[in-house]
Amino acid sequence: MIGLRNLWTPTTFVGAAVMAIAAAGWHLKPEQAPRWMIAIVAMAVIWIISTVVGELWSKTGSMKRYIAMSASLAGVILAVALGFAIVDVDRSNGHVLSARLSGILSGLVLAVIGNAGPKVTEVLKPDCFSTVEGMAVKRFAGWTFVLAGLAYALMWAFAPIQLAEDTSIPLVAGALLLALGRVLWAVRRLTHA
Amino acid sequence: MDKVFRALADPTRRKVLELLRRGPMTAGELCDHFESARPTLSAHFSVLKEANLVETHRDGKQIIYQLKLSVLEDALLGFAGMFRLGEDAPAPNAAELEGKI
């Protein structure tokens, strides 16, 4: 079980992120304050539902815990996406906050997924990923996605918007190709062994 | 995270993790690399398992240990080794280790 005590940290993080987005949107579009209230409440409700459902699912076993955490994360992403849709920032007028925030969030999600990747073993056993070569592949892919995710987030946070738009997709595509290349190399080594 | 930091702060436990990088090992194979008593090492293994840094499978009478590190934990392991954390401290015995869990 996740445990209600352990929910304080993610709840605080989500609450702070939601409030930051809300404050930014309120500053940009004060006339849409009622819509902002709905968005904030919707995010909180989605988070609570996904967390409670996850808690009910995760009575036993760590695989269920991963599913529960994934469902919670998906709920948060959907909620934040809803928030961005309601902000309705017009990028053509030079307001790039929405693009930057969504880019930072995407990069952080990629980094979080990459970080957890090498640790997930339950769903992969007892196939080739439990071998030494398989563990090396997972480690390489994990590091690649974490570094790419952090670079992606930093790019959207600090680089000029045009540079971020031009380089972010090649950055993630490059990480995917690197990971895929490592998988193919491992498969080649295993089949020729 | 507190359990992870505590687990990585000990050089013996870091050496266990480094050995497991080579692949899954039985408890006996791991013990062969150390001069410590088996109960002490078993306590170290328990600390690592408690911190979710290793996982175990039973194969007959043997327990096989396998590495289970996230990227962040992998990086922390590298930093802890680089700065030689805990190497000046006296080695705890099994009873002290059990008390820490």
List per-residue pLDDT tens for chain A, 193 residues long: 444 455 566 666 666 766 776 777 677 767 766 666 666 666 666 666 655 555 554 444 555 566 666 666 666 666 666 666 655 555 554 456 777 877 888 888 888 888 888 887 654 444 555 577 888 888 899 999 999 999 999 998 899 988 988 888 889 889 989 988 988 888 887 777 6
Domain B2-82+93-97: give its CATH code.
Answer: 1.10.10.10
- pLDDT of B91 reads 59
Q: Does B93 touch chain A if contact means CB atoms closer than 8 Å?
A: no
Same structural domain for residues A152 and A59? Answer: no
Mean pLDDT of chain A: 72
pLDDT classification of B60: cutoffs 50, 70, 90: confident
Contacts of residue B12, Cβ cutoff 8 Å, sequence gap at least 6: B34, B36, B41, B44, B91
Q: Do A135 and B74 touch (CB under 8 A)?
A: no
- Mutation pick from B25, B49, B70, B74 vs chain A, by most beta carbons of A within 10 Å, is B70
- Is the pTM higher than 0.90? The answer reads no
Q: Is A142 exposed, middle or buried (0-12, 13-18, 19+ CB in 10 A)?
A: buried
Residues of A in contact with B54 (CB under 8 A): none
Task: Please tell me the distance from the alpha carbon of residue B9 to that of residue B11, in angstroms, as a whole number.
Answer: 7
Q: Mean of the pLDDT values across residues B33-61? A: 88
Domain count, chain A: 2
Task: Please tell me the distance from the alpha carbon of residue B25 to that of residue B50, in angstroms, as a whole number.
Answer: 18
Same structural domain for residues A6 and A80? Answer: yes
Query: How far A118 CA lies from chain B's nearest CA (Å)?
Result: 5
- pLDDT of A9 reads 63
Residue type, B98: E
Task: Using CA coordinates, name the residue in chain A closest to B71.
Answer: A115
- pLDDT of A1 reads 43
Same structural domain for residues A188 and A117? Answer: yes
- pLDDT of B16 reads 93
Residue A96 structural domain: 91-193
Same structural domain for residues A98 and A79? Answer: no
